Amino acid sequence: MRLFAYIILLFGLSLTSCEENFNLEENTNTQFNVRVNGVELPVLVRGNTASKKIILFINSGPGLTSLDHAHLDLMNFKTIESSYAIAYYDQRGTGNSQGTISKGSLNLKQYSKDIFDIIRVLETKYEQPEIFLMSHGFGSYLSSFFLLSYEDSNNVKGWINLDGSLLIQESKVWEYKHTFLVNIANEEISLGKDIAYWTDALDWAINNPIISNQAQKDQWRSYLGNPGEFIIPSEQRDLLTRETFDVVFNSSYNPLPALWSRNGKITAERISEEVNGTNLIPELSRLTLPTLNIWGRYDDIVPPELGDDIYNALGTPNADKYFEVFLNSGHQPFVNEPNLVSQKVVDFIGKY
Amino acid sequence: MHKLIFSLFVIISTSSWGQFSIIPHNVGISYAGETVTHPGGKLSLMYNLAQWNKVTKSQRGLAKTKRRNTTLNVNFGGFYHQRFQTGIFFLPEIEFSESNKKGWYWAAGAGAGYLRTIIPDTYEVQDDGTVEAVNAGHNYGMASIYFTYGKDLFIQNKKPWRFFLKPEFVMAFPNFPTLTGYFLLEVGVAYKLRQF
């Protein structure tokens, strides 16, 4: 009986002994939850909060988790964290978000409100730091939707857009992908690489100005290859067994809802349904905040030609917007050229 | 037909409760680690419902006797997953077990109960824009399936202890999209309070 009482005591102590702190430190590692409309969203703040600059990272997907990525540093943001803090969060319906989540609440308006509230909590708990957004892929759609929705009330100081997809109109995206192939073929020919191959690709592209059917899409893919095959850099980051064990057994994550649930897939379907056919690029003229656009030259999902149009559409003064094309990257420059991404991000934030 | 089933139910229930004692046959205590490493504990009150012997013949014609049991385990427990949640649960489980003459046994079972979660360090933006710390947590129905392997020292040595290892898959519902899964690994010991 004494043993049982001892175990209960230990259990009780463990509940109260690990309160999070919100001190401004160079090496912060704090996790908390933000409740929005009955749902708790986990937020992990890591890095240099003493800088009083916090980057809120909005991951891609839709439906991708973030906290487990952060735990394993899959985005290679540790270098950035030594200069500034990064706040990672699991979006509603994904990963370890908790609570009663109705499918009806999986929409952009609610997701924007989630971002707004997380920023409010960050501002309150960290003595009004400057907030930057950093987003990748679909996360950039979400970021720009939020910035446009809360145009007058957000205090976001700047936006880092990593290969962001703001155009969800398939036919238009394929126009860009067509141009992407033409440009790649011309570049390779001018470099004297596989001239016959790329000439053939160029001829095919000229003879197929509109790519619409599956056979054409397959042919387009066959010229460029899949990531890691020959021209598009590999975006795979192999997980070591030790890392997998670490995130499963030694992290704040419950891996079952995060990794082996259909929640991410359902979330992706709901959000995709809502955004399908939309294009935020014409709206970007309303945004005037400093923006760093980073694109992989070989991004076959959101080609840099599309990134260039996003850059041009922004209402930000030219002196405050940047478009950086990384020549050895695909859709995930933070995987292909992590040091360069870190350097550009740190330099950009340092200016504001 | 309905009357017959109802009458049988009443007869069985009455006779069972007539023999029922609040004192369990065994009381168990275990470490119950959520995803193995996140600490938790479980107190189990184990009531034997039925016990019988199963005799089989070996290839050499020798009789082998195995003891079989059905048990009701009434469990109270909790776990602490740092930064994620604390769970407190009440989980009755029905179990079938079989033990050999040396006391080694296996068991399999399923349960249904209640889980209360407590979510740490939660903040909410109020209507006036201020941020306040709030108590957060949710109530869930709970279901479990498990397997147990262990040794009952009473069978061979008449010592009132048994040890067991129990991997358990737990589901909490309703959740998004339907339920949330947990894996618990229990390592425990049970003490015999009375015989069946």
Instruction: Using the predicted structure, report yes or no on whether residue B7 has a pLDDT greater than 60.
Output: no
What's the whole-number mean pLDDT along residues A206-230?
95
Distance from CA of B46 to the nearest CA of A (A): 16
Helix (H, G, I), strand (E, B) or coil at A225: coil
The confidence score (pLDDT) of residue A2 equals: 56
Which residue among B41, B131, B183 sits closest to A120, beta carbon to beta carbon? B131
DSSP-derived letter for residue A250 is: S
> Which tokens is A335 given?
């995987």
pLDDT of residue A154: 80
Interchain proximity B29–A4, CB inside 8 Å:
yes
The single-letter code of the amino acid at B41 is: G
Where do runs of H (alpha helix) occur along chain B?
Answer: 2-19, 153-157
Q: Average pLDDT of chain A?
A: 91
Contact B37 A250 (CB under 8 A): yes
Tokens representing B182 are 């947990």
CA atoms of A276 and A273, how far apart (whole Å)? 5
Chain A hits for B138, CB-CB cut-off 8 Å, are: 98-100
The minimum CA-CA distance between A106 and chain B, rounded to whole Å, is 11
> How far is the C-alpha of A198 from the C-alpha of B50, rounded, in Å?
78
Entry pTM: 0.88
Residue-wise pLDDT for B167-186, tens only, equals 999 999 988 888 889 999 99
Beta bridge partners of A320: none
Query: In sequence order, what are the beta bridge partners of B132?
Result: B124
Per-residue pLDDT at A69: 87
* Strand partners for B113: B142
> Which has the minimum average pLDDT: A27-41, B50-64, B159-173?
B50-64
- Which of A15, A117, A121 minimises the CB distance to B86? A15
Q: Choose among A82, A75, A76, A89: nearest CA to A30.
A: A89
Q: What distance in Å separates residue A107's CA from the closest CA in chain B?
A: 15
pLDDT higher than threshold 50 for residue A295: yes
Determine, for residues B180 and A257 on separate chains, whether the beta-carbon distance falls below 8 Å.
Answer: yes
Q: How close does chain B come to A290, measured CA to CA in Å? A: 26
Tell me the percentage of chain A whose pLDDT exceeds 70.
94
Contact A263 B81 (CB under 8 A): no
Q: Which residues pair with A41 in a beta bridge?
A: A34
Each residue of B106-148: pLDDT tens digit? 999 999 999 999 999 999 999 999 999 999 999 999 999 999 9
Looking at residue A167, what DSSP letter applies?
B
Of the candidates A248, A252, A254, the beta carbon closest to that of B182 is on A254
pLDDT for residue A133 is more than 80: yes
Exposed, middle or buried by CB within 10 Å (0-12, 13-18, 19+), for A271?
A: buried
**Facing B129 at nearest CB: one of A96, A120, A254:** A120
DSSP letter (8 states) at residue B101: T
Mean pLDDT of chain B: 89
pLDDT of residue A200: 97
Element (H, E) at B119: strand B104-125
Per-residue pLDDT tens for A142-184?
A: 999 999 999 887 889 999 999 999 999 999 999 999 999 999 9
Asked if the model's pLDDT at residue A93 lies above 80, the reply is yes
Across the interface, which of B39, B40, B134 has its CB nearest the CB of A35? B134
Number of neighbours of residue A17 by Cβ within 10 angstroms: 8
Most confident of A14-23, A256-265, A323-332: A323-332
Determine the average pLDDT of the residues in B50-67.
86
Which residues from B are below 8 Å from A125, CB to CB? 123, 131
- Complex-level ipTM: 0.90
Residue B10 pLDDT > 50, yes or no?
A: no
| Cβ-based burial of B27 (10 A; exposed 0-12, middle 13-18, buried ≥19) | middle
CA-to-CA separations, B122 to A38, A126, B84, B136, B175, in angstroms, rounded:
11, 15, 11, 6, 19
Question: Under DSSP, is residue B171 helix (H, G, I), strand (E, B) or coil?
Answer: strand
Q: What do you get for the CA distance between the two ends of chain A, in Å?
A: 62
- The count of residues in chain A is 352
Instruction: Tell me which residue has tokens 């309905």.
Output: B2
Chain A residues with beta carbon closer than 8 angstroms to that of B78: 11
DSSP-assigned letter for residue A221? H
Smallest CA–CA distance from B82 into chain A, residue: A252
pLDDT at B11: 43
CB contacts, 8 Å: B144 with chain A: none
Mean pLDDT of A191-205: 96
Task: Specify the DSSP class assigned to residue A66.
Answer: S
Measure A172 CA to nearest chain B CA, in Å: 33
Residues in contact with B26: Cβ distance below 8 Å, sequence separation at least 6, in sequence order = B44, B46, B162, B190, B191, B192, B193
The pLDDT of residue B21 is above 90: no
Q: Strand, helix or coil at A122?
A: helix
Residue A31 bridge partners (DSSP) = A44
B83/A31 Cβ within 8 A = yes
Are A223 and A181 a contacting pair, CB within 8 Å? yes
Mark A116-125 as b/e (b = at least 16 C-beta within 10 Å). Answer: bbbbbbbbbb
In angstroms, what CA-CA distances link A51 with A48, A119, B66? 6, 16, 69
- Cβ pair A254:B124 closer than 8 A: no
CB pairs under 8 A between A and B: 115
Q: Look at chain B and count its residues.
A: 196
Query: Could you tell me what percent of chain B has a pLDDT over 90?
Result: 74
| B83 to chain A: closest CA residue | A252
Could you give the CA distance from residue A122 to residue A31 in angstroms, rounded to a whole number? 11
pLDDT of A86 over the 60 cut: yes
Dihedral sign for Cα atoms in the order A98, A99, A100, A102: negative
Lowest mean pLDDT across A30-39, A95-104, B17-26, B184-193: B17-26
Question: Is the model's pLDDT at A218 over the cut of 50?
Answer: yes
Which amino acid, A32? F
Measured in angstroms, the CA of B114 and the nearest CA of chain A are apart by: 16
Query: CB distance B124–A35 less than 8 Å?
Result: yes
- Residue A340 and residue A143: Cα distance in Å, rounded? 22
Cα–Cα nearest to B44, from B196, B194, B191: B191
Q: Of B83, B117, B131, which is closest to A121 when you measure between CB atoms?
A: B131
A20-51 pLDDT tens trace: 889 999 999 999 999 999 999 999 999 999 99
